[in-house]
Structure 1
Amino acid sequence: MSAAPHACDPLLTADCQQMLVRLERAGVRAVHELSPEAARRQGMKLFDLDRRQGEMRLLRQLLRQRGLSASELASACGFSLEEVEQHLEQMLASGTVLRAERQKGTVTWSTRLSLRRRTLKHPDLLRKLEPEEGPAAVLRPRETLLSRELTLTGGLRARLYLPPSATGEPLPVVLFAHGGGWVTGSVDTHDSLCRTLCQGSGWAFLSVDYRLAPEHPWPAAPDDMATALHWLHEHGAKLGVNPERLALMGDSAGGNLALVSALQARAAGWPLPLLLVLICPTVDPSMACPSWRELADAPFLSAADMRWYYGHYAPDPDDWRAAPLRGDLRGLPPTLVISAMHDILRDEALLLGQRLEQEGGTVWQRPVAGVFHDFVLFGQAIAAAHQEQEEIGRLLRETAAASA
């Protein structure tokens, strides 16, 4: 994901523009400017050290320690409570995202793009985080979700989420692949999205921490997803889920992996999923679609970023697992394809939907105007993202009801 532009693009909606301004003020850096290790470790340059020493001291403590109270934070930084309050207000105003967390009386400091998140127990800040009216700003009450860390075959890590409404009956389950260009991202970066969709849909979610390039280039990621799918079919019943009532989902590079997993299931003769949900998927490494030229400098994912990802992932362009747009797409389950109109991957997502329709599949195309790549991650900040999260939850509920 790349840096925010210096000027707001007129094609972007007002809430998108506000998010980009906040990110620019926070010093977002393009991912292709970072090494893979640095991209995973920080993802963003937060503040100018010379001008924001107080905020940096706070952030260092938040990075080093978890769950600090306001008084503990003040003591660790050598500040008074009033100074802590002042610096936190400056952090909020300058673009650092502080948002209400699921545990009452706790807020999370997060750059949203960074892999580093720490919580701060400071109930008074909750009042300051009260958003403006509108669907994107609603901090919905959260019921308790159950989550478990799992180790699958070969040491592959995954995280299982169970909805609070679980009744003991085997649950339908989503096998989820996170985005990040096959180089960055993890189950942690997509934890909030999985929790939101798990609660909103009533489905269990199994989020896979597949191996990342460049240490593990193509085809490590699709191999890991195939391993996870096979493991789920063998062990799902023991976890309280029904792998025969399965959906595959992913965003960006994860959308690629979800589609490839469905094709691998078909090739192996396994039961096909009931549903595919592909969010801004990347499905054609040729980089030849017009949107690659028209939107080469688009925010959050530029052409330079995508080349950086592909350079580390190193897929074989002649293998259908690397280029599923050009593969055999017959016989796939109903598919929701969400695309962003200000995204270099726009055209390949639209072409994918057309191909699926041509092969006789059921497809819901949802091209969303005025938003950038992977906008669905920002449900608390962007109205369109909130709406698409609601749409995914609705479709999952309807699919579960039809398969009951």
Structure 2
Amino acid sequence: MSLPLRTKVFWSIYRRVERDPVMQQGADKVRAASDRRRKMSRMPGSSLLTGRPDRGAVAEDTAATLPDGTTLPLRIYRPQVRTTDAAADALPVVMYFHGGGWVSGDPWQSEWWCAGVAAGAGAVVVSVDYRLAPEHPFPTPVEDCYAATVWVAEHARELGVDADRLAVMGDSAGGNAAAVVSLMARDRGGPRIRLQALIYPSVDLGADYPSKHENADAPVLTRKDLDTTWHLYLPDESKMHDPYASPLYAEHHDLPPALIQTAQYDPLRDQGAVYAAALRAAGVSVRLTNYVRAVHGYVSLRNVTIGADQALGEAVAVLEDALVERSADVVAPAE
């Protein structure tokens, strides 16, 4: 495995600091381990690893109240734009679902990526702080993501977004959520989704693809992580092939076009390629890119793995093609 030096150094230090990985904890300890990692990610200087948010976007926090009374925190990234007419004020919107194996993570871990999407594509990015397993196993996390998407579409006017120009995006477990929300939106009559951007997604729970063994001890995500987390998320193994748990087993016709990104040194790599093939077989347009020498987690670790900036650039370009009308001029970030 020919890893970049900076990735090797990061992983060597991280393994000494975090001896008990979040995703390898039992159900009784995973929340405490997740909280520890969250605190580490917000320590002074952490941006040296995670990357600084683009200054061409500003962030704000709000919350969606679901029909059952549940409150879901949302972190919203808005581009700094100049508009020439009132109709241009409603910007396209991208729903973002963070990774973390359904048991950890929050919107702040992908701050640089979401801010970069907002500034680069001239779109509002809404990152969802969905509920996590093991306290909230399947289907709660993906149902939260769908409900938040519906809420944003229904509150488009007050949020200043155009619900007719909506995309979903997520990484890892969040990539699973983005794929599942696309299925739910089709099956449940909306909202219409113009693009699903799936970043190193998990689409086949419990599956045993070659990349899982080839990259069994890869940085950030290992084979043992995969074997542990899906059980925490899906304790009822009889639902392993439920399409809303493992979207590979869905019927894929009439789904939105997809961008799928994968990383060479990632045990999930092959799942992205297999899902791309399944979508194409159903007539869905797919752009699949595998980032060479990259590892799982580049959305959250900009300065650790090569290819992160290139991956963001690709995502922005594909989103612009799918969503952006050229009536808004995005202001370049100040130097």
TM-score band, normalised by the shorter chain? Answer: 0.7 to 0.9
- TM-score after normalising by structure 1: 0.71
Task: Select 2:202's aligned residue among 282, 286, 289.
Answer: 282
Write the distance in 2 (CA, Å) between the matches of 1:311 and 1:403: 45
Whichever residue aligns with residue 266 of structure 2, its letter is D
The answer to whether structure 1 residue 215 and structure 2 residue 98 are counterparts is: no
Task: Select 1:391's aligned residue among 309, 314, 317.
Answer: 314
Whichever residue aligns with residue 21 of structure 2, its letter is A
The answer to whether structure 1 residue 164 and structure 2 residue 158 are counterparts is: no
- Call closer, same or farther: CA 1:150–1:196 in 2, change over 3 Å: same
Per-residue deviation, residues 200-236 of structure 1 (Å, max 9, x unmatched): 2211011111110111111101111121121112111
The answer to whether structure 1 residue 191 and structure 2 residue 111 are counterparts is: yes
- Call closer, same or farther: CA 1:36–1:238 in 2, change over 3 Å: same
Kept after mapping to 1: 8 A contact 2:196/2:258: yes
Whichever residue aligns with residue 76 of structure 2, its letter is L
Write the distance in 2 (CA, Å) between the matches of 1:140 and 1:42: 22
The answer to whether structure 1 residue 261 and structure 2 residue 261 are counterparts is: no
Structure 1: unaligned runs, 5 residues or longer? 1-9, 44-112, 121-125
Per-residue deviation, residues 303-340 of structure 1 (Å, max 9, x unmatched): 21112211211162131101101111111122110011
Residue aligning to 2:42: 117
Write the distance in 2 (CA, Å) between the matches of 1:362 and 1:375: 25
Whichever residue aligns with residue 335 of structure 1, its letter is A
* Higher RCO structure (Cα 8 Å, ≥6 apart): 2
- TM-score after normalising by structure 2: 0.85
Write the distance in 1 (CA, Å) between the matches of 2:260 and 2:315: 10
- Say which SS state the counterpart of residue 379 (structure 1) adopts: coil
Write the distance in 2 (CA, Å) between the matches of 1:224 and 1:26: 33
- Say which SS state the counterpart of residue 113 (structure 2) adopts: helix
CA offset at residue 141 of structure 1?
Answer: 6.5
Write the distance in 2 (CA, Å) between the matches of 1:166 and 1:243: 20
Write the distance in 2 (CA, Å) between the matches of 1:255 and 1:177: 7
Give matches, 1:58-207, under 5 Å: 116-119=41-44, 142-143=55-56, 145-153=58-66, 154-165=70-81, 167=83, 169-207=89-127
- Say which SS state the counterpart of residue 247 (structure 1) adopts: strand
Residue aligning to 1:104: none
Per-residue deviation, residues 368-393 of structure 1 (Å, max 9, x unmatched): 12122122322234331111011111
CA offset at residue 115 of structure 1?
Answer: 5.5
- Say which SS state the counterpart of residue 170 (structure 2) adopts: strand
CA offset at residue 259 of structure 1?
Answer: 0.5
Q: Taking every aligned residue pair, what percent have the same amino acid on both sides?
A: 33
Residue aligning to 2:264: 341
Whichever residue aligns with residue 142 of structure 1, its letter is R
Q: Which structure has the greater CA radius of gyration?
A: 1
Whichever residue aligns with residue 276 of structure 2, its letter is G
Q: What's the RMSD between the two structures over aligned residues?
A: 2.6
Kept after mapping to 2: 8 A contact 1:115/1:188: no
